[in-house]
């Protein structure tokens, strides 16, 4: 099902970490290294096509810059990001990078990774606020991924 959602075989796939309200995969957990031994810096990966599209629209409308600025100007969001990145490094000590492979503190790279982290690790305020900006997290009546 994850392969169908992505349109390709997943790299470094470990497991489905979060399911949508319809029971289909929404977030996959990835291993630190893929099958060839190459680093895979993103621990949690959005697979739900509806969520991927919604976060893509958010990024296309300047979301990365807007949320990076929010982190820089809001001490609570900055603390949330620091705590999540510390948790990320704790989860994967063999590849000690931040969310989405970030190596610079306070700078966001990919809102998809922050949204996926928030779904997989509840309580991540920055990720929760990014998700709250979406018009709808899930389709209204049925899953976007056919069986």
Q: What separation in angstroms does the CA of 87 have from each of 130, 135, 140, 146?
A: 18, 28, 33, 34
Residue 144: per-residue pLDDT: 87
DSSP 85-105: HHHHHHH-TTS---GGG--ST
pTM check: above 0.75: yes
Q: Which residues pair with 27 in a beta bridge?
A: 18, 46
pLDDT tens, residue order, the chain (147 aa): 999 999 999 999 999 999 999 999 999 999 999 999 999 999 999 999 999 999 999 999 999 999 999 999 999 999 999 999 999 999 999 998 999 988 877 779 899 999 999 999 999 999 999 999 999 999 988 888 877
């Amino acid at each position: 099902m994850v392969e169908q959602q992505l349109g390709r075989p997943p790299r470094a796939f470990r497991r489905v970490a979060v399911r949508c309200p319809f029971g289909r995969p929404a977030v996959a957990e990835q291993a630190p290294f893929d099958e060839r031994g190459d680093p895979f810096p993103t621990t949690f990966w959005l697979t739900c096509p509806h969520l991927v599209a919604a976060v893509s629209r958010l990024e296309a409308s300047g979301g990365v810059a807007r949320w990076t600025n929010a982190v820089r100007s809001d001490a609570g969001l900055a603390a949330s990001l620091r705590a999540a990145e510390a948790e990320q490094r704790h989860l994967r000590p063999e590849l000690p990078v931040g969310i989405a492979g970030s190596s610079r503190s306070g700078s966001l790279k990919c809102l998809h990774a922050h949204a996926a982290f928030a779904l997989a690790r509840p309580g991540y305020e920055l990720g929760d606020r990014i998700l709250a900006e979406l018009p709808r997290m899930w389709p209204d009546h049925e899953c976007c991924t056919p069986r």
